[in-house]
Amino acid sequence: MISAAQIRAARAFIDLTIDKLSAASGVSALMILQIETERAYDAGPEAYGLLQSALEEMGIAFLEAGQGGEGGEGIRLNRRPHEVDGIRPENLNATNDD
């Protein structure tokens, strides 16, 4: 299971607010705040799993202690959040022109 420190680091790494993570994961903002401050007595593995899935979807890879060399648990950026596939040129039109 990922740790509170990994969640904090992941959010900071991709400049993600608690509210945006809450919307992406389905975990309440209050629960995320409690998890990050290690005061989430009611948070079970499901909440951590939802947060991990949402952050992985945004390009974060979670590392276990010793994975990739010496050291403790950590995170790595697989891709920048803005590096999603986007819209293919043939699908561009006036309705999706931002």
Q: How many structural domains are present in the chain? A: 1
The answer to whether residue 52 sits within a structural domain is yes
The answer to whether residue 83 sits within a structural domain is yes
What's the pLDDT at 85? 55
CA 84 to chain centre: 15
Owning domain of residue 22? 4-88
CA dihedral 85, 90, 94, 98 (to 10 degrees): 20
The answer to whether residue 80 sits within a structural domain is yes
pTM for this prediction: 0.76
What's the pLDDT at 66? 75
The number of beta carbons lying within 10 Å of the beta carbon of residue 60 is: 24
| Element housing 16 (H / E) | none
The more confidently predicted of residues 98 and 52 is 52
What's the pLDDT at 18? 96
pLDDT tops 90 at residue 33:
yes
Strand partners, 63: 74
